[in-house]
Amino acid sequence: MGNISKLPLVQLQGVSKVFGKNSSELIALNNINLTINDTEFIALCGPSGSGKSTLLNIIAGIDLSTSGMVYLLGNLINTISDEKVSKLRAENIGFIFQFFNLLPVLSVFDNVYYPLMLNGMSKRQAKDQVMDIIENVGLIKHYKRVPNELSGGQQQRVAIARALVKQPKIVIADEPTGNLDTKTGQEIIDLLLAMNQKNKTSFIISTHSESLKNQALRVVEIQDGKINNETV
Ligand code: ADP
Ligand code: MG
């Protein structure tokens, strides 16, 4: 095993995020240290407003930290160009959101194909790859439908397929079961766990779900912008 394979996917050192200025300053993240390696399944827990989304956005390079170091696959993202950050993100990170964020006029197939289209891949080239992942999330019968012809749980499955279609090293999910009933939420958790096993993709998932917390391999608790208790 060479050292390269041991390079963490994500490494945060002393990361803080401050919103606003002077009297209205809000410390959203306070001196966060966090390392994410290959094939992890991490539940990021904490009350509303504790900093979960801010932390995920910083890991994704969508938002920049106010201080501290953020490494994505060994690249210090505070110091590289926006283009390079975008490229690293596009090649290595998949996203899943609470409200699915699907494109309403596109079919299931086209929503999942979308990230590959942005890469310049033709539909014909992408077809097998797209249909494979649609099958993996259990939607093969529905690939021609548009999002509003699907249930919430099915829409989240589309979003999971879209996040995984480029085989990213890490998937960031921000409250993926937050808009689903308990049973549907559990089905989504089971699917995420299965995808973690099958694809060896790392997941970091912010959640209020006790079930997800119990099934995660690692739990990161955040409160008032600080990580206060890690259970492995
Ligand atoms: P969570 O996802 O855990 O609910 P957030 O990361 O969204 O928490 O928010 C953490 C804190 O930062 C909250 O107090 C929130 O109001 C604040 N915050 C988040 N984003 C912004 C922003 N763009 N501008 C100002 N304050 C923000
Ligand atoms: Mg949030």
H-type alpha helices, the chain: 52-59, 82-92, 108-118, 123-136, 152-164, 182-199, 210-215
The residue whose CA has the least distance to atom 14 of ligand 1 is 49
Q: Given this model, what pLDDT does residue 169 score?
A: 96
Does pLDDT of 2 surpass 50? no
Does pLDDT of 199 surpass 50? yes
State how far the Cα of 205 lies from the Cα of 177, in Å rounded to an integer: 10
Residue 97 C-alpha to ligand 2 middle, in angstroms? 10
Q: Given this model, what pLDDT does residue 222 score?
A: 97
* Overall pTM surpassing 0.80 (yes/no): yes
Residue 209 C-alpha to ligand 1 middle, in angstroms? 20
Q: Which two tokens stand for residue 48?
A: 């509303």
The residue whose CA has the least distance to atom 15 of ligand 1 is 49
Percent of the chain beyond pLDDT 90?
87
Does pLDDT of 80 surpass 50? yes
State how far the Cα of 52 lies from the Cα of 29, in Å rounded to an integer: 9
Q: Given this model, what pLDDT does residue 232 score?
A: 58
State how far the Cα of 71 lies from the Cα of 58, in Å rounded to an integer: 10
H-type alpha helices, 6-141: 52-59, 82-92, 108-118, 123-136
Q: Given this model, what pLDDT does residue 5 score?
A: 56
User: Architecture of 38-64+82-231 per CATH?
Assistant: 3-Layer(aba) Sandwich (3.40)
State the ipTM, two decimals.
Answer: 0.99
The residue whose CA has the least distance to atom 23 of ligand 1 is 19
Burial 181-206 (b: 16+ CB within 10 A, else e): eeebbbbbbebbbebbeebebbbbbb
16-to-45, 68, 231 alpha-carbon distances in Å: 18, 6, 22
Q: Given this model, what pLDDT does residue 1 score?
A: 44
Q: Which two tokens stand for residue 58?
A: 């910083």
Query: CA 8: distance to chain centroid?
Result: 16
Give the mean model confidence (pLDDT) for residues 203-212. Answer: 97
At residue 160 the predicted structure's pLDDT band, cuts being 50, 70 and 90, is very high
224: which DSSP letter?
Answer: T
Read out DSSP for 79-105?
TS-HHHHHHHHHHHEEEE-TT----TT
Which has the higher per-residue pLDDT, 4 or 40? Answer: 40
Q: Given this model, what pLDDT does residue 108 score?
A: 98
Give the mean model confidence (pLDDT) for residues 15-26. Answer: 91
Q: Are the CB atoms for 218 and 41 separated by under 8 Å?
A: yes
State how far the Cα of 136 lies from the Cα of 119, in Å rounded to an integer: 22
Residue 58 C-alpha to ligand 1 middle, in angstroms? 12
- Residue whose pair of structure tokens reads 């950050």 in the numeric block: 85
